[in-house]
Amino acid sequence: MYTRSHLLAFHRVLLPAVMAMTLFLSFVALVSAQEVRSPRDPDGRMVNFERDIVPIFQKHCLECHGPKEAKSDFRIDELDTVMAYVEPGDVESSAMFVEYMTTDDPDLMMPPPSKGGPLSAAELSLVHLWIAEGANWPEGVIVGEPGVEGHEAVVEPKPEVARSVVGRLWGFQGYFHPAAVHFPIALLSLGGLFVIVGLKWPTLGTQIPLACLLLGAPAAIGATLMGLSFATEQGYGSWTKVDFDSEVFWHRWSGVIVAVLATVFAVIALMSLKKKNDGLTRVWKIGLVVLAGMIGAVGHQGGELSYGKDFYTRAFNVLTGGSSEEKVPPTEADTSEADATEADTTVDPDAVPSGDA
């Protein structure tokens, strides 16, 4: 049975440690998420010239104001020429935007109505913001003509932007997710198993499951936060991205739900110890069995994401003496080829001479 010293150890040491770990990792996640989600570059600009402005110039301006033809001696691909009509930081004083792009005079409008003018509201907004932010035209970026050799948009390689200490820490710990995720899976699954075993042997149905739950809850929190980072580092998108058709989305948030529920049931377990309440004990034990099933499903999905949908099917094929090779669905070309082969090998009874001939 539990003594008073056990209760003091649970409430004064383990629970504060779990809460402190949760708060710290949550803080790291939130700070890093703000860093990842920032729409501004290191210089504070929201508009990227190469990404946002060059395509507009190429699509609407380059044909008449480029290397092939420069009407009115204006070249959209020459920095000095463009800046003669742009006042960095002052949109209202920028003739290119005020007198040409947004004018009501069809004779002055650029691009002209015959060429698809005026620009769309989204395109005008980008140009407006580009000028307002200083009309940054990075050195090495060329406004070129798509598909024409020597006139492509080119940018010199830029040094990688240094990440903050928190950002590096967040990215680093994410790479431990594939290993760390096994701890909560093992602990919560084992705890749920011993709850069931405890129905037959009661002495095994409390202490071992309780220890598994109290260790599995913080392990689940840590593995989940590592998974959020790991998914971003591997190019699956930020954890703030909502895509109900993505299996990564469901795997990610299923893990979050398991971690939250594990923490809730761990707190209930500690409360049951303090109050010696049999009802609370039943709640956390039932919850632990449910968690064991949930984390098994989440782990199964993670295995399929890593190794393919039929990964476990191949495992059972090995057990039963079948092939462990991944089955690749036949393509349309394969099907057509098979049909053609079958047609070639099919004998037409009418084409075979009879013995009476």
The residues spanned by each domain of the chain are 4-35+165-318, 49-132
CA–CA gap between residue 9 and residue 296 (Å, rounded): 30
| 106 compared with 289, residue with greater pLDDT | 289
Q: Counting Cβ atoms within 10 Å, is residue 185 exposed (0-12), middle (13-18) or buried (19+)? A: buried
Look at residue 317 in the predicted model and tell me its pLDDT.
82
pLDDT tens across 137-160, in order?
A: 887 777 765 544 444 444 444 455
Is 219 within 8 Å of 295 (Cβ atoms)? no
Q: Which residue, 293, 294, 284, 286, is CA-closest to 210?
A: 284
Is 280 in contact with 271 (CB distance < 8 Å)? yes
Percent of the chain with pLDDT over 90: 17
Between CA 54 and CA 196 the distance in angstroms is: 65
pLDDT digits (tens, 9 = 90+) for 304-356: 777 777 777 777 888 888 765 555 444 444 444 445 444 444 444 444 444 44
Residues 11 and 270: beta-carbon distance below 8 Å: yes
Per-residue pLDDT, 106? 82
Query: 71-81: per-residue pLDDT in tens?
Result: 877 888 888 88
Contact between 159 and 140 under an 8 Å Cβ cutoff? The reply is no
The answer to pTM > 0.75 is no
Distance CA 261, CA 283 (A): 12
> Which tens digits make up the pLDDT trace of 257-283?
999 999 999 999 999 988 888 899 999
